[in-house]
Amino acid sequence: MDVWKTKARETVFEAAPYVKVAKETVELPDGRLIDDFYQLELRSFALVVPVMEDGSVMMLRQYKHGPRKVSVTFPAGFIDPGEEPEVAAKRELMEETGLAVGTLTPMGSYVDNANQKGCEGHYFLAQGCRRVATPDAGDLEEMQEELWTIEELDRAMLNGDLAVTHHVAAWGMARLRL
């Protein structure tokens, strides 16, 4: 299969550094031109599934404004400009939980929208985690730490307690490795 070719690109909205909307003209493999193919660019993030030394999984219970509900989540956050995803993953884990990583395994990097892009998430499994500091997220979110078993997390995913797709995907990827 041939790829589409971007012939022109114009930013139509930007609220840096959080969101950019661009209008592209793309050429399809058969030569047709689409002159209004929109792309949404959100900041890239790193997400960590932290497994403690005893095998429990550290979860955060917090309000998420996208689904407009309190949800259970994994530690995650934006990747700073010039920062490597692995470094961001370790930083976010430390900031939000005070945990240090035993071993960090990349689980892949994925774009969340097949045609309009959205954001790119970098997913990691952290095993052998242990507390070395007091959490200090330094942001707007209030977080409550909870230790969960693998079985409890499986049920939470099936029951919709993981309200954000990124966290559902992360748990699915982690389960294949645990």
Q: What is the mean pLDDT of residues 17-33?
A: 96
Own/partner contacts of 13-18, CB < 8 Å, gap of 24 or more, are: 17/43, 17/81, 18/42, 18/43
Average pLDDT over residues 9-22: 96
* Burial (CB count <10 Å: 0-12, 13-18, 19+), residue 8: exposed
Please, are residues 47 and 34 in contact by the beta-carbon 8 Å criterion?
no
Q: Report d(CA 171, CA 58) in Å as an integer.
A: 12
Query: Where do the domains of the chain lie, and which CATH numbers do they carry?
Result: 5-42 (no CATH), 45-175 (3.90.79.10)
* pLDDT one-digit tens code per residue, 57-73: 999 999 988 899 999 99
Task: Report the pLDDT value the prediction gives residue 33, as an integer from 0 to 100.
Answer: 97
* Residue 138, pLDDT above cutoff 80: no
Which phi-psi region, left, alpha or beta, contains residue 98 (left: φ > 0; alpha: ψ -120 to 50)?
Answer: left
Is the pTM of the predicted complex or chain greater than 0.85? yes
Confidence of residue 136 (pLDDT cuts 50, 70, 90): confident
The pair of structure tokens assigned to 78 is 């934006």
Q: What average pLDDT does the segment 30-55 reach?
A: 97
